[in-house]
Amino acid sequence: MTIDLPVIWAAIIGFGVFLYVMLDGFDLGIGLIFPFFDREGERQVMLNTVAPVWDGNETWMVLGGASLYAVFPVAYSVLLPATYLPIVAMLCGLIFRGVAFEIRAKARRTQHLWDLAFIGGSGVATFAQGVILGTLLQGVTVRDGKFAGGAFDWFTPFNLFTGIGLLVTYATLGCGWLLMKTEGELRRRMGVLMRPLTLVLGATVGIVSLWTVLGQPAVAMRWFSRPNLYFFLPVPLLVLACLAGILVSLRRGADRTPFLLTLAILFLGYTGLIISIFPNIVPPSLDIWTASAPRSSQLFTLVGAAIVIPIILAYTALAYWVFRGKVRADDPGYH
Amino acid sequence: MNVPDTALLLARWQFAFTVSFHIIFPAISIGLASYLAVLEGLWLRTGKLVYKELFFFWSKIFAVGFAMGVVSGVVMSYQFGTNWSGFSAVAGSVTGPLLTFEVMTAFFLEAGFLGIMLFGWTKVGPRAHFFATLMVATGTLISTFWILSSNSWMQTPQGHAIVNGKVVPVDWFKIVFNPSFPYRLVHMSLAAFIVAALLVGACAAWHLLRDRKGPGIRKSFSMALWMLLLVVPIQIAVGDAHGLNTREYQPAKIAAIEGIWETEKGGTALNLVGWPDMQAETTRYAWQIPHLGSLVLTHSWDGEVRGLKTFAPEDRPNSTIVFWSFRIMVGMGLLMLLLATLGLALRRNGRLYESRWFQRFALYMGPTGLVALLAGWVTTEAGRQPWVVYGVLRTRDAVSAINVQQVGTSLMIFVMVYFLVFGTGIYYMLKLMAKGPDLPRDEADATAPDTGHGHERFDHRPMSRPTEPIDE
C-alpha cells in the first residue's frame, strides 16, 4: 500500500490555513475595531497585545501559500487567476497594514495617517479574503486544468456578502481577544462591543449557510442526504450553542470564554466548508489528486515540513505562553 | 493560450517592477547581516566600543530593510499564481518546493533569532547574543541559497523529466545543484556584500564631508574600503567564470550580451559600445576591439563565439536591452574597483580621512552597488528570454489568461503602493543614515522600555530598533 500523499498534504494545508485564519483573524480584527478607540493610549495598548506574536501569525499565510504552490500547483494556477483582483487588493492591504504597524510608533505628526493605513489595510485585506472564500465556495470555471472564467467572476452578491461576513467574523475575534488581553475601561468597552458583534456574527453565519445550500444543489445533497444529515447536524447546533455561550459568558463578565467560543464558531464554520467541498480543492471539478504536483515534489517537500512544522508549532506556542496575560497601558516590563 | 501581446508585456513589466523593488531590501539585509556579525565578533574579541557603536547604528538600518523585504517578498510568490499560472502549473513542481524550503529553513531561523539580536542585549549573555547574530546572518544566506537555486534551475534546468507537458522532478540533488547554481550563488552573495559595503562607505563619507570625524565614522569608512578592495576583484573573477558557464549553457544570452550576430572564424572582436538592432540584425555604431571577445569569453586568442543569427529569430533574447544592462553592471564594477584602489593609495599617504574629492566620490558611489545588482538581474533574466524555463517553457506559454485591463490596473496599483510604502521605508533608512551613529550607549539605555508613544521605544518589532521619529 502506498501512502496517499495528496490527502496528507491536504490535511497539512487545511490545518495551516485554519491556523492562519484563527491567528491573523484576531489581529486583523484589531484593525477593524481600531476606529472605535482613542488614538492616544488605547490604540497602542491594542497593538501591544499582538506585537510579539503578529509576525508569526502572518507566517502561516506565507507557509500556506508556498506549500499550496509546491504541492498543488494546479490548484494554485487556477485559484489565483480566478481571484486576481481580490488577491492584489489583499496583498496591498497587507502591505499597508504591515508597514503602518511598524511605523505608527515612529510617527508623531503623521500618526493619524498611519492609523488610517492600518484600518484601511486590515479592512481591505479581510474583505478580499472573504471574497476569495466565497469564490471557492461557489466554484470556479475550469477547463483542461486551467482557469476558464472571466476576470470578474468573483464579483457576485454572494461573494461580496462573504466578504462582509469575514469582516464581522474577524472583528468579533479581535474584540474577544482584546477582552481577554486588556483590563479596566478598555476591557469594559470591549465587553459592550462584543454583544452586538456576536449577534451580527450569528446572523451572518446563518445567511451564508442558507445561501450556500439554496444556491448549490451539490452542497445541499451532501448535507441533507441520509445518513450524512445525522453526522453533520451537530455542526449548526454547536454553532447555536456557542453563540448562546458567548452571550451568557459576557453577562457573567468572563475573560476568556467569549474569545474561545468565537474560535469554536470559526472552527465549526471551517469544518462546514470542508464538508461542503472535500475532496475538491477548487470546486466544482478540481480534486486534490488532479491538482497535485508529482509524487517526488510532494515527498521532497514533506521531508522539510515534517521537521519544520513541529518546530514552528512549538515556537508559536512558546511565544503565546511567554506573552500570556493582560497587557496594561503603563506596562513597560511585560515583554 | 491567446493572451494579447500587451497583456503579456504588462505582466512582464509588473514582475520586473515588483522584483526590482523587492531585491533592494534583501540585498541590503544580506550584506548588513554579515557586516553586523563581523562588527559584533570584533567587539567581543577586542572589547573596543567603536564596534559596538557601529553595531547598534547599523542594526537599526538592517531592521528597517528587513521589515520592508519581508513585506515586499510576499507579493512575489503570489504573482506566480496570478500572472504566471502557466508557469506554476508546468514548473511549480520544481520551483514550488524550493521556495517552500526557503520559507521553512531561512524564514524561521531569521524570525527566531531576530528578536534576540535586536532586543536581547540584557536578556542573554554576549556569546549567546553573538550566536543569534550569526544565525540571522546564516538565515539570510540560506534564503539566498534556495532562491538562487530556483532561479538557476530556470536558467539551466536539469534533473527533471517532462510528462504530459509538465515538469516532473526526478533527481532533487541535480535540480538544486544545477550547472549555473554555484556561480550565481557566489555572484549574488558577493553582490549583496558589495551593496552593503558601498552604503556603509557612502554613509561614512557623508559624515566625513560634514567634518564629523569620530572614531565610528572613520572606522566604518575604513572597513568599507577594505571590504571593497577584498571583494570587488573576487567578484570580477567570479563574474568572468560565470560568463564561461553561461557561454556553455546559454550561448544565445552571451551573443545578445555582446551584440555578436555572425559566428566569426579566427577570433571574435568585442563590441565595446554600440546599438544592437534586433530588426536589422546588426550592431550599429560599434566600437570594436579585435580578438578581445574571444579572449574574454573563451580565454583564448581565437576561440569561437556563436553569433545571434545562428539562433532562430523567435529564440533570440533582446540584445538591445541586455547589451546595455550588462555594460552598466560592468561599468559600475570597474568604478568600484577604482574606488577601492584609490582608497588604498590614499591610505598609504595617510590622507584617507582628509581628501574631500575622494569622500565625494565614495558618497556618489553609494547607490552603485544596487544599480549594478539591478542591471545584473536584467541581464540574466532578460537574457533568458524568450524562455522562462530555458529550453523547456516559453514566457508566452507561462502567462495566465489575463486581460489587459486586469494586469494594467494591478500594475498601476502596485506602482502607487510601492512608491508610497517602500518610498517611506527608504526615506526612513536614509534619514537614519544621515543622523549617524551615536556615542556608545550604556546597556540600560539600549534596552529601555517603551510605551510606544511617538519617539519612545517599543521593543519587540524589528522596526522598534531605530528610535528616531520618522516625520520630524
Q: Give B151-165 pLDDT, tens digit per residue.
A: 999 999 999 999 888
Q: What percentage of chain B has pLDDT greater than the value 90?
A: 37
Inter-chain CB proximity B421 and A99 less than 8 Å: yes
Please identify among residues 75-114 of chain A the ones whose CB lies closer than 8 Å to any CB of chain B: 76-81, 84-85, 87-88, 91-92, 94-96, 98-99, 101-103, 105-111
pLDDT over 90 (residue B262)? no
Q: Is the pLDDT of residue B1 over 70?
A: no
Q: Chain B: nearest CA to A69, how far in angstroms?
A: 5
**Confidence label for B425 from pLDDT (cuts 50, 70 and 90):** confident
**Percent of chain A surpassing pLDDT 70:** 97
Beta strands B166-169 and B160-163 are antiparallel
The strand ranges marked E within B252-376 are: 270-277, 282-289
Whether residue B134 contacts residue B33, with contact meaning beta carbons closer than 8 Å, is answered with no
Coil/strand/helix, residue B83? coil
Q: Distance (Å) from the C-alpha of residue A103 to the closest C-alpha of chain B?
A: 7
pLDDT band at residue A125 using 50, 70 and 90 as cut-offs: very high
Residues of chain A in contact with residue B402, where contact means CB-CB under 8 angstroms, are 81, 84, 151
A301 touches chain B (CB under 8 A): yes
Long-range contacts of A41-45 (CB under 8 A, 24+ apart): A41/A329, A42/A186, A42/A329, A43/A115, A44/A105, A44/B451, A44/B452, A44/B453, A44/B458, A45/A182, A45/A186, A45/A327, A45/A328, A45/A329
Give me the mean pLDDT over the A151-158 stretch: 86
**What is the rounded CA–CA span in Å between residue B21 and residue B11?**
15
B427 versus B463: which is more confidently predicted? Answer: B427
Query: Terminal CA-to-CA distance of chain A, rounded, Å?
Result: 51
Interface-testing mutation among A48, A61, A103, with chain B (most B C-beta atoms within 10 A): A103
| Closest partner CB to B169 (pick from A85, A294, A315) | A294
Where do we find the cell 444529515? A229
Contact B395, B12 (CB under 8 A): yes
Rounded-to-integer distance, Cα B204 and Cα B213, Å: 9
| Cα separation, B202 vs B220, whole angstroms | 10
pLDDT at residue number A111: 85
| Number of helices (H), then strands (E), in chain B | 16, 6
Plot region of A145 (φ>0 → left; ψ -120 to 50 → alpha; else → beta): left
Give chain B's radius of gyration (CA, Å).
Answer: 24
Chain A closest CA to B225's CA: distance in Å?
33
DSSP-derived secondary structure letter, B156: S
Q: Give yes or no for A59 touching B (CB within 8 A).
A: yes
**H-helix segments, B350-442:** 356-364, 368-382, 395-398, 404-435
Residue B458: closest C-alpha in chain A: A105
Of B85, B112, B470, the CB nearest to A106: B470
Q: Which of A12-26, A42-56, B177-191 has the lowest mean pLDDT?
A: A42-56
Residue B33: pLDDT band with limits 50, 70, 90: very high
Q: Please tell me the distance from the alpha carbon of residue A137 to that of residue B466, in angstroms, as a whole number.
A: 45
pLDDT tens for each residue of A223-252: 888 777 777 888 888 999 999 999 999 999
Q: Give the pLDDT band of residue A328 (cuts 50, 70, 90).
A: confident
Indicate if ipTM > 0.85: no
Cα gap B54→B35, rounded to integer Å = 10
C-alpha cell at B362: 565614495
Place of cell 467541498: A277
Residue A69, pLDDT > 80, answer yes
Q: Give the residue from chain A lying closest to B405, CA to CA.
A: A151
Residues of chain B found within 8 Å of residue A101, distances taken between Cβ atoms: 461
Q: Which residues of A touch B406 (CB under 8 A)?
A: 84-85, 151
Residues constituting chain A: 335
Confidence band, pLDDT 50/70/90 cuts, at residue B172: very high
Is the CB of residue A202 less than 8 Å from the CB of residue A245?
no
Smallest Cβ distance to A88: which of B101, B410, B470? B410
The residue of chain B nearest to residue A110, with distances taken between CA atoms, is B471
A244-253 burial, b for 16+ CB within 10 Å, e for fewer? ebbbebbeee
